[in-house]
Amino acid sequence: MTKLITTVNEMSNLSRKIKLQGNTIGFVPTMGALHDGHLSMMEQSAEENDVSIISIFVNPLQFGPNEDFETYPRQLEQDAEAASKVNVDYIFAPSVEEMYPDELGVTLEVGRMAKVLEGAQRPGHFEGVVTVVNKLFNIIRPDNAYFGKKDAQQLAIVEKMTRDFNHPIKIKGVDIVREEDGLAKSSRNVYLTAQERKEATYLSKSLQLAKQLYDQGERDSENIINRVTEYLNSYISGEVQEVAIYSYPDLVKQNNITGQIFISLAVNFSKARLIDNIIIRG
């Protein structure tokens, strides 16, 4: 039976007890509204660790002033039921006041890696991410932590933060889980209209086009970006906000492609901003 924990003290004391008993902890941080992508990470956590813990916390620090913090889907009871089916032992679901009882006097700044892609579009977003992840790591003290590759920039930044701050935690990237028609699973997909939902399938198809061009020997980033952008514009009503090619995981912009890269895109629909990517090994 999955147990719900809502206070930092109880969660911290429990994790300390688990570690003293010699058990390993797997941890999946989430903002709730769980979908199959989250559940696949939880299944892996349960398989690879003695105790599996998830967090459900909509973190205000990673939302900008005009973003969807207030309307972000919150469904704790439904999420708890889903988590229990994939052998999650504990859900840590604190309130905002519990996580941030006082105004933060010390903040973290992410360097160059947060100044591109999502970080450029959403200033302060990754500072909010690393702040809450640091707090969660210190409270739960997992051995393994699981993050989805759909948020590939976030994954790279969390890996770097973990090394820089000497967290004794192994970060595990989990492959993107997609709908049958290719759309990456996302809590924000519920914001799409019926027509936009049909159009959204072309995001993953455009990435396959990019991979096809790469496999055929194309190494000029601008050529791939232009082809992908033209393809998207011909099939979707949303605004193509960005198509970009960066090295991975160090996130250096690529003009002439070498080594491992990831090709990412962001599209604005009427009420949802969707991202997707593909990582191509050099």
Over residues 228-256, the pLDDT tens digits come to 999 999 999 999 999 999 999 999 999 99
- Band (113; pLDDT cuts 50, 70, 90): very high
Per-residue pLDDT tens digits for 92-107: 999 999 999 999 999 9
| The predicted structure's pLDDT at residue 24 | 98
What mean pLDDT, rounded, does the chain reach? 96
| The predicted structure's pLDDT at residue 123 | 94
Per-residue pLDDT tens digits for 43-98: 999 999 999 999 999 999 999 998 889 989 999 999 999 999 999 999 999 999 99
Q: Is the separation of the CB atoms in 157 and 113 below 8 Å?
A: yes
Torsion of CA 220, 225, 230, 236, to 10 degrees: 160
149 labelled ligand-binding: yes
| The predicted structure's pLDDT at residue 217 | 97
- Band (183; pLDDT cuts 50, 70, 90): very high
Q: Does residue 282 surpass a pLDDT of 90?
A: no
- Quick one: what percent of the chain has pLDDT higher than 70? 100
Stretch 144-154: mean pLDDT: 97
Q: Is the separation of the CB atoms in 267 and 118 below 8 Å?
A: no
| The predicted structure's pLDDT at residue 169 | 98
The order of strands in the sheet holding 90-92 is 3-5, 90-92, 51-56, 25-30, 144-148, 170-174
Stretch 208-213: mean pLDDT: 98
CA of 279: how far to CAs of 4, 171, 234, in Å? 36, 17, 24
Q: Is the separation of the CB atoms in 176 and 207 below 8 Å?
A: no
- Band (9; pLDDT cuts 50, 70, 90): very high
Catalytic (active-site) positions: 38
For 209, residues 6+ apart whose C-beta sits below 8 A from its C-beta are: 227, 228, 231
Q: Is the separation of the CB atoms in 55 and 34 below 8 Å?
A: no
Which structural domains are found in the chain, ordered by start?
3-174 (3.40.50.620), 187-276 (3.30.1300.10)
31 labelled ligand-binding: yes
| The predicted structure's pLDDT at residue 66 | 85
Lowest mean pLDDT among 124-128, 155-159, 185-189: 185-189
Instruction: Name the phi and psi angles at 9, rounded to 5.
Output: -60, -45
186 labelled ligand-binding: yes
Per-residue pLDDT tens digits for 255-266: 999 999 999 999
128 labelled ligand-binding: no
- Whole-angstrom distance, CA of residue 210 vs CA of residue 264: 10
How many DSSP H helices and E strands does the chain contain?
10, 9
34 labelled ligand-binding: yes
205 labelled ligand-binding: no
234 labelled ligand-binding: no
